[in-house]
């Protein structure tokens, strides 16, 4: 047997051949990784705050005043329903019509429930009221932040869920009516829609399937800081803190602690885990307007922002993801 030594030139030629063979493989792997990353990014649910803002502007244009019994109230209902025609065609849009006894007499009200079936047994509910304050019907009160923006927020979440159906629990969007008092806020004169819905779902067994009931209220304020809700389920309060950290929005929550009377209460009283996601500090507090822009003619489109809607949408989608991870 004859032995041949491999000199430096021979090694360089061999290495060069190996490199030429390896480079196409490396390029292929990089392209495949990039393509996979693009597919993953495309598949990830994405909320669009600007779309939600545009929807708010559209709703305010067609239905600036939405107090019960007004033409604007009917137009707001039509606005909601037209955005869920695809769900209605599948039988996943439910109209919950009821008659409420109010200080102004009997009033017909409507809740709208849009259902996105999941793969796990259970329901996550996101709710917002869509009507404006009845006692303020004679002033220029449009409720841009107080009802319109969160209605648009839920419509945009519906757009996300339509493109990316739930992999975990079913998600139901509830557009509830009659959150506002008809004369003066009190246990029997407020929260008409959610009081009716909580009782209805208690009777038909739906209530026991709800894993979490999340209320979105007044969370499009340009100066957004969502309150720490003292009358919500503690584990959901803590989960919102985690959701804010995960989405990079920790600076926009829990500057204040509040125990608001809101649409979560009828469900809390029946043992459902609830979270009131609300920014009750809306505009400067003065002697003339102690509650800022809330329930004044100043609650207009210029007081809200696409950025705040983006933050709120990010938080709600992350809450859905985190709730699904619970044992």
Residues 219-261 have pLDDT tens digits of 999 999 999 999 999 999 999 999 999 999 999 999 999 999 9
Are 29 and 56 found together in one domain? no
Are residues 222 and 291 both part of a single domain? yes
Q: Of 77, 83, 88, 86, which is closest to residue 129 (Cα–Cα)?
A: 77
Look at residue 196 and tell me if it is in a domain.
yes
Does 153 reside within a domain? yes
On the 0-12 / 13-18 / 19+ scale of CB atoms within 10 A, 246 is: middle
What mean pLDDT do residues 73-78 have? 98
Please report whether residue 306 resides in a domain: yes
Number of H-type helices and E-type strands within the chain = 9, 8
Q: Report the CATH number that the domain containing residue 178 is assigned in CATH.
A: 3.40.630.10
Answer yes or no: do 5 and 141 share one domain.
no
Is 60 exceeded by the pLDDT of residue 9? no
Q: Would you say 312 and 224 are in contact if contact means Cβ atoms under 8 Å apart?
A: yes
Residue 77 lies in a domain: yes
SS3 call for 304: strand
Binned at pLDDT 50, 70 and 90, residue 45 comes out as: confident
Sequence-distant (6+) residues with CB within 8 A of 190 are 179, 180, 181, 261
Number of domains within the chain: 2
Tell me if 192 is assigned to some domain.
Answer: yes
Does residue 43 sit within a domain? no
Residues 6+ apart with CB under 8 A from 76: 59, 62, 63, 66, 130, 131, 151
Query: Which region among 33-37, 63-67, 130-134, 211-215 has the lowest average model confidence (pLDDT)?
Result: 33-37
Buried b (16+ CB within 10 A) or exposed e, 17-48: eeeeeeeeeeeeeeeeeeeeeeeeeeeebebb
Average pLDDT over residues 99-113: 97
Angle at 307 between CA 301 and CA 310, to 5 degrees: 110
Instruction: Specify whether 225 is located in the same domain as 261.
Output: yes
pLDDT at 52: 98
Is residue 205 located within the same domain as residue 277?
yes
**pLDDT score at 5:** 41
| Structural domain contains residue 96 | yes
Average pLDDT over residues 261-269: 97
Q: What proportions of the chain, in percent to the nearest 5, are helix, strand and coil?
A: 45, 20, 35
Cα Rg of the chain (Å, integer)? 26
Binning pLDDT at 50, 70 and 90, where does residue 163 land?
very high
Calpha distance 131→120 (Å, rounded): 32
Average pLDDT over the chain reads 90
User: What pairing do the DSSP bridges indicate for beta strands 226-229 and 274-278?
Assistant: unpaired
- How far is the C-alpha of 14 from the C-alpha of 84, rounded, in Å? 65
* 18 & 79 share domain: no
The DSSP symbol for 136 reads: T
**Same domain assignment for residues 197 and 80:** yes
Q: What is the pLDDT of residue 13?
A: 39
pLDDT computed for residue 17 by the predictor: 47
For residues 297-324, give the mean pLDDT: 98
Q: What is the pLDDT of residue 327?
A: 87
With bands split at pLDDT 50, 70 and 90, how would you rate the model's confidence at 28? very low
CB contact at 8 A, 220 and 269: no
Q: Are residues 192 and 243 in the same domain?
A: yes
End-to-end, the C-alpha distance of the chain in Å comes to 70
Does residue 62 surpass a pLDDT of 90?
yes
Do 294 and 171 share a structural domain?
Answer: yes
Cα–Cα distance, 72 to 139 (Å, whole number): 14
User: Are both 142 and 78 inside the same structural domain?
Assistant: yes
For 58, the domain range is 48-325
231 inside domain: yes
Report whether pLDDT(278) > 90: yes
Unique residue bearing structure tokens 């502007």 = 57
Residues 134 and 238 in one domain: yes
Shared-domain flag, residues 288 and 218: yes
């Amino acid at each position: 047997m004859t032995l041949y030594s491999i000199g430096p030139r021979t090694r360089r030629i061999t290495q060069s051949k190996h490199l030429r063979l390896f480079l196409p493989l490396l390029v292929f792997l990089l392209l495949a990784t990039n393509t996979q990353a693009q597919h993953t990014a495309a598949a990830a649910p994405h909320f669009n705050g600007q779309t939600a803002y545009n929807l708010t502007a559209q709703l305010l244009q067609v239905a600036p005043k939405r107090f019960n019994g007004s033409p604007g109230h009917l137009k707001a209902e039509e606005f909601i329903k037209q955005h869920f025609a695809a769900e209605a065609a599948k039988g996943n849009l439910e109209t919950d019509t009821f008659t409420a006894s109010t200080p102004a007499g009997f009033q017909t009200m409507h809740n709208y429930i849009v259902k996105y079936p999941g793969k796990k047994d259970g329901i996550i509910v996101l709710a917002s009221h869509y009507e404006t304050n009845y006692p303020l019907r004679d002033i220029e009160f449009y409720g841009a932040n107080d009802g319109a923006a969160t209605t648009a927020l839920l419509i945009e979440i519906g757009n996300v869920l339509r493109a990316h159906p739930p992999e975990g629990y079913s998600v139901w969007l509830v557009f509830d009516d009659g959150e506002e008092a008809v004369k003066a806020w009190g246990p029997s004169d407020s929260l008409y829609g959610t009081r009716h819905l909580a009782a209805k779902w208690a009777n038909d067994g739906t209530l026991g399937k709800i894993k979490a009931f999340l209320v979105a209220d007044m969370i499009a304020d340009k100066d957004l800081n969502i309150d720490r809700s003292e009358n919500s389920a503690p584990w959901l309060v803590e989960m919102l803190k985690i959701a804010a950290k995960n989405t990079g929005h920790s600076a926009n929550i829990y500057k204040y602690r509040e125990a608001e009377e809101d649409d979560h209460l009828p469900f809390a009283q029946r043992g459902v885990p609830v979270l009131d996601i609300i920014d009750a500090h809306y505009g400067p507090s003065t002697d003339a307007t102690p509650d800022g822009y809330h329930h004044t003619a100043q609650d207009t489109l210029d007081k809200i922002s696409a950025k705040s809607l983006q933050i709120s949408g990010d938080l709600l989608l992350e809450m859905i993801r985190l709730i699904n991870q619970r044992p």
